[in-house]
Amino acid sequence: MRPSHKSATLLVLIPLILLAPVFFPSSFYYRVGALIFINGLAVTGMVILIGYAGQISLGHAGFAGIGAYSCALMPVHWGIPPVLAAVFGAVISALLAWLVGRPILRLKGYYLAVATLGFGILVYMVLTNETWLTGGPDGMNVADSGLRDLAKSLGINMKNSEFWYWLCAIVMVAGVWLAMNLQDSPTGRALRAVHGSEVAARTVGVDVARYKLQAFVISAVYASVAGSMVALQNEFVTPDVSGYMHSIEWVTMTVLGGAGSVLGAIFGAAILTLLPQVLTAFAEYEQLLLGLIMMLVMIFMPDGLLPSIMRRIRGKDE
């Protein structure tokens, strides 16, 4: 009897997070680690959307933009503390996702992809053009979140990069834990039924449109929180956080590692976050490689890298 899916995922994930810093020669590695966790959080949301519900979004960076700029704008204009602003940003993202998703998710197939593609571009356009509010393409500063001072007052004194490594790790693990619980809940089972066959799910009484909408809204919240984390960590945001390529990267990470499992997707996030750091000399070829990876994975390993490797290890009994 294998351990349950949920505990297995956390059993793999948490020791890796704890042990990795042993091998970190400089604070730069903590920063890359934090970035992996932030992407990991966003792709956990994508797993709920792609892996559980079988839908796809090409504009999730739009929600990240909303989360990031909430942290930047709300403290300045309304005096809301940045961390609370992140929560409000997540609420706004959820509402927007609900508004955009409701008419679209009644339909099948390509419509969500196209509508989210347009949505992401629209958010990027607003953030870039409304210079008076957002500072335009140059970006804007984000107020200090005060989280590190809070940790200090509790007696935890860490370098900035280390602090964010651990904080991002905690947020990601919390996100993963919630996603795993969702998978085992009636909603999760309904979503998997929808993924298997919408018609079959409907005939057994699953409200297909409602569950797809739920998955979309939840994944939007994940993306929004990821965006907020970027803003809070860097204390600076640019419209790039909502860029089209960012949305595509998240989709690629998810399907590369394996959209069917959270662990696989985080594995994909780790690979694709590390790759540009390793291949800085090939920056020019980044898009080329990304596109190639997307096509090759979908053609040769439609389940993703991690499930394919696991099958190899276990033999072909599954």
Partner 1 sequence: MSELLQFLFSGLTVGAVYALVALGFTIIYNASDVVNFAQGEFVMLGGMLTVFTYAAGLPLPLAALIAVLVTAGVGVALNKLAIEPARGAPVVSLIIITIGASIFLRGGAQVLFGKQIHRFPSFSGDTPFRIGGATILPQSLWVFAGGIAIFIGLYLFFTRTLTGKAVLATSNNRLAAQLVGINTNWVMTLSFALSAGIGALAGVLITPITNTSYDVGIALALKGFAAAMLGGMGNPKGALAGGLLLGVIEAMTAGYLSSQYKDAAAFIVILLVLFIMPQGLFGAKQTERV
Interface residues with partner 1 (CB under 8 A) are 50, 54-56, 58, 100, 103-104, 107-111, 113-115, 117-119, 121-122, 125, 129, 199, 244-245, 248, 251-252, 255, 284-295, 298-299, 302
Q: In the complex, what is the shortest distance from the CB of residue 290 to partner 1, in angstroms, rounded to a whole number?
A: 5
Query: Are residues 235 and 144 in contact, defined by beta-carbon separation less than 8 angstroms?
Result: yes
Helix (H, G, I), strand (E, B) or coil at 285: helix
Strand partners, 237: 140
Of 235 and 286, the one with the shorter C-beta distance to partner 1 is 286
Of 274 and 294, the one with the shorter C-beta distance to partner 1 is 294
CA atoms within 13 A on the CB side of 37: 30
CA distance 47 to 264: 9
Query: Are residues 254 and 268 in contact, defined by beta-carbon separation less than 8 angstroms?
Result: yes
Q: In the complex, what is the shortest distance from the CB of residue 178 to partner 1, in angstroms, rounded to a whole number?
A: 23
Q: What Rg do the C-alpha atoms of the chain give, in angstroms?
A: 19
Pairing of strands 140-141, 236-237: antiparallel
Of 57 and 93, the one with the shorter C-beta distance to partner 1 is 57
Q: In the complex, what is the shortest distance from the CB of residue 43 to partner 1, in angstroms, rounded to a whole number?
A: 14
Of 116 and 233, the one with the shorter C-beta distance to partner 1 is 116
Q: In the complex, what is the shortest distance from the CB of residue 286 to partner 1, in angstroms, rounded to a whole number?
A: 7
Q: In the complex, what is the shortest distance from the CB of residue 133 to partner 1, in angstroms, rounded to a whole number?
A: 14
Q: How far is CA 161 from the centre of its chain?
A: 20
Q: How far apart are the first and last CA of the chain?
A: 15
- What is the DSSP secondary structure assignment for residue 49, as one 8-state letter? I
Q: In the complex, what is the shortest distance from the CB of residue 110 to partner 1, in angstroms, rounded to a whole number?
A: 4
Joined together, the tokens standing for residue 289 give 């490689």
CA distance 233 to 246: 18
CA distance 42 to 48: 10
